Structure 1
Amino acid sequence: MFEWAWPYAFALLPLPWLVARLLKPAATLEGVALRLPIALSGLDAASGANPVPRWRRVLALLGWALLAAAVARPQWIGTPVDLARTGRDLLLAVDASGSMDTPDMSIGGQPVSRYGAVKAIAGDFIRRRVGDRVGLIVFGSQAYLLTPLTFDRDTVLKQLEESVVGLPGRETAIGDAVGLAVKRLRERPQEQRVLILLTDGVNDAGELDPVKATDLAVAEKVKIYTIGVGAEAMRVNDGFFGSRVVNPSADLDAKLLGEMAQKTGGRFFRARDTGELAQIYKEIDALEPGADKQQQFRPVDELFYWPLSFALLLAFGGMFARNLRAWRGSNPLAQDAA
């Protein structure tokens, strides 16, 4: 769409006419005139009067109109373009230790491992975080950043889907995962720093103690939501003695996870099945809403250089034509050739 940014600049158009009407013509000096050996075409040496040719007036007025058009800033406004919206800076730290392979969850009536359930439900959560920067950490014996904070949710989803249990080791380094997340979030705006930590065990590996890591999170204003995942009852086959019911989440350190969340202003959630896990992510959606307004901008192409260029071409063309006429009038050879 074409438009003028400063259309009021066209009020300058009558300025030359007003100047010509209001200002008196310059007085001509009368007296002894300089006698030149060669007569200049169209010049009255005695009076000094040299009326402006009509074509020069037209060029001057056209050039002035083009200058006014350039000052009015013609623009071409493009179609609206969606901007990536700035919401939260969300890091997901997912436990990929050996115990996450325990098949005590179910999806669609079919048993799945804890990690398989997390992939499915956390994937839906990531898809809903439109406008947020999302990153992914997986941890076991060590913590690794698989995806830095990014608006590209598809990349985060792909990395989550391709990760496997045991990739970062079989043990659980909760403190290292929190420390790595704090390190990545500390450069982001304070009100946007959020970590969602999901684990099924107790800290039994790593260099950084979880309590010290939590203190670092408090100092850097990182809010931590902790999720303890795993069923509390599971029937296992004892072979010759039949089957028995065990608690596969006996090692879950719920007290530590609760303290981490409480100290940092987050919340601790317990996910015993996939239904609870899905509800937890919905609650986090409500607690940490993304940007609610679509941001758009319309690209603007400035076109003022077109009328400005034409105005300069007219000015140079007028000067060249005037000098050429003067040269022809003062050069006997040019007059003879004419």
Structure 2
Amino acid sequence: MFEFAWPAALLLLPLPWLLRWLLPAAERPARALQVAFLPRLRRLDSKQQVLVHTPRSAAPLILIWLLLVMACARPQLLGAPLPPLSSGRDMMLAIDLSASMDTRDLQLDGAASDRLSVVKHWLSELIGQRGGDRLGLILFGDKAYVQSPLTYDLDSVSTWLNETFIGLAGRDTAIGDAIGLAIKRLNAQPANSRVLLLVTDGANTAGTMSPIQAARIASDAHIRIFTVGVGAEGGGQSDLLSILEGDSDPANDLDEATLQEIAKLTGGDYFRVSDSAALQQMIERIEQLEPSQRADRASREAKPLYPWPLALALLLSTLWSSRPVRRRMHA
């Protein structure tokens, strides 16, 4: 597709005619010198006047001006759309799928709901606001697994999140391993900003790496970790299976001190989420601390064409200005 990159330059087209109309005519000094070949000089002067003022002789000048203005407007041919530049952040989401996430102590749309369903709901809202960023999804329980690598396809990340369920990765909580896996995924990416959002409702009860040790490694890798503690202050209804297996009260399992220390070591922040209002405040706070890099509008490969009219104008100017030389050579 053909277009002008600077179409406003075309407004310069009438400039010579405006200057000719607005500026006074140049005054010529009276001729008083009498020479023997004066008639010949008058004939030459007469020819020059004709060349300047007749439309036919002025056509090359008009064409040169049109070519110069066209080159200034930068004509170009647009090719196929180019892929967007990766100017956003790389953010991994680490979601706890342990048994305690089935505790029904939070509200969703005015009804009691389990913690995982509420987390899915507000994380889907957060994912929708991260246009231009690459997101990845880590699920952890007894071990940590990568459910989605870093991708610009935020709809797929949201779909994979909504398909998760309690116990998919085991019933315990390997917070340290989840952080370690996120470090491995983020550290391999040449991004300007690496972020981990860690969501859990318990304490580290599984895995081979301690959360504090993993946080120190993340700090050395320039990865900021935002930790989110989920659960109501006063406890709630845990499932019957957890009670029969002798699990402790889910309301008291949250290790806030460790989550706060992880955030402090990596330059992030800790959030305690116990209701929908706190969830909304957390989303707004994350947007303030780590604003997403919005994707630029689609661009196309542009092939510049301005050298052609510029070169043609230069050629015509050279030919037009060399006319007196050619006449003298033929005289």
* TM-score, length of structure 1 as denominator length: 0.63
Moved more, 183-192 or 291-300: 291-300
Q: Matches of 1:190 and 1:80 in 2, distance apart?
A: 23
Map 1:315-326 onto structure 2 (within 5 A): none
Distance 1:104 1:4, change over 3 A: closer
What is residue 170 of structure 1 aligned with on the other side? 171
- Quick one: which of 272, 275, 280 aligns to 1:273? 275
AA aligned to 2:142 is: S
What is residue 41 of structure 2 aligned with on the other side? none
Query: 1:227-271: per-residue Cα shift (whole Å, max 9, x none)?
Result: 00000114659xxxxxxxx97421100000000000100001100
What is residue 133 of structure 1 aligned with on the other side? 134
Give the superposition deviation at 1:294: 2.7
Query: Is the 1:234–1:248 contact (alpha carbons within 8 Å) kept by the matching residues of 2?
Result: yes
Distance 1:206 1:236, change over 3 A: closer
Map 1:21-32 onto structure 2 (within 5 A): none
Give the superposition deviation at 1:219: 1.2
What is residue 107 of structure 2 aligned with on the other side? 106
What is residue 91 of structure 2 aligned with on the other side? 90
Query: Is the 2:201–2:229 contact (alpha carbons within 8 Å) kept by the matching residues of 1?
Result: yes
> Is the partner of 1:255 in helix, strand or coil?
helix
Query: Is the 2:227–2:263 contact (alpha carbons within 8 Å) kept by the matching residues of 1?
Result: yes
Percentage identity across paired residues of the two chains = 45
> Is the partner of 2:251 in helix, strand or coil?
coil
AA aligned to 1:268 is: Y
Give the superposition deviation at 1:4: 8.5
Query: 1:208-243: per-residue Cα shift (whole Å, max 9, x none)?
Result: 111211111011111000000000114659xxxxxx
What is residue 302 of structure 2 aligned with on the other side? 300
Query: Is the 1:231–1:247 contact (alpha carbons within 8 Å) kept by the matching residues of 2?
Result: no
AA aligned to 2:271 is: F
Give the superposition deviation at 1:298: 2.2
Q: Matches of 2:90 and 2:295 in 1, distance apart?
A: 17
What is residue 162 of structure 2 aligned with on the other side? 161
Map 1:36-75 onto structure 2 (within 5 A): 75=76
Q: Matches of 1:156 and 1:293 in 2, distance apart?
A: 17
Mind listing any 5+ residue stretches in structure 2 that lack a counterpart? 6-70, 239-247, 306-331
Mind listing any 5+ residue stretches in structure 1 that lack a counterpart? 6-71, 238-245, 304-338
Q: Matches of 2:129 and 2:236 in 1, distance apart?
A: 35
What is residue 290 of structure 1 aligned with on the other side? 292
Distance 1:153 1:84, change over 3 A: farther
What is residue 67 of structure 1 aligned with on the other side? none
AA aligned to 1:2 is: F
Q: Matches of 1:235 and 1:205 in 2, distance apart?
A: 24
What is residue 322 of structure 1 aligned with on the other side? none
Map 1:244-255 onto structure 2 (within 5 A): 248-255=250-257
> Is the partner of 2:112 in helix, strand or coil?
strand
Residue 180 in structure 1 maps to residue 201 in structure 2 = no
Q: Matches of 1:248 and 1:116 in 2, distance apart?
A: 16
What is residue 203 of structure 2 aligned with on the other side? 202
What is residue 2 of structure 1 aligned with on the other side? 2
Give the superposition deviation at 1:94: 0.6
Q: Matches of 1:169 and 1:235 in 2, distance apart?
A: 21
AA aligned to 2:2 is: F
Query: Is the 2:103–2:236 contact (alpha carbons within 8 Å) kept by the matching residues of 1?
Result: no
AA aligned to 1:252 is: L
Q: Matches of 1:176 and 1:102 in 2, distance apart?
A: 23
> Is the partner of 1:300 in helix, strand or coil?
strand
Q: Matches of 1:3 and 1:224 in 2, distance apart?
A: 47
* TM-score, length of structure 2 as denominator length: 0.64
AA aligned to 1:279 is: Q
Give the superposition deviation at 1:302: 8.3
Query: Is the 1:84–1:295 contact (alpha carbons within 8 Å) kept by the matching residues of 2?
Result: no
Give the superposition deviation at 1:274: 2.4
> Is the partner of 2:252 in helix, strand or coil?
coil
> Is the partner of 1:94 in helix, strand or coil?
strand
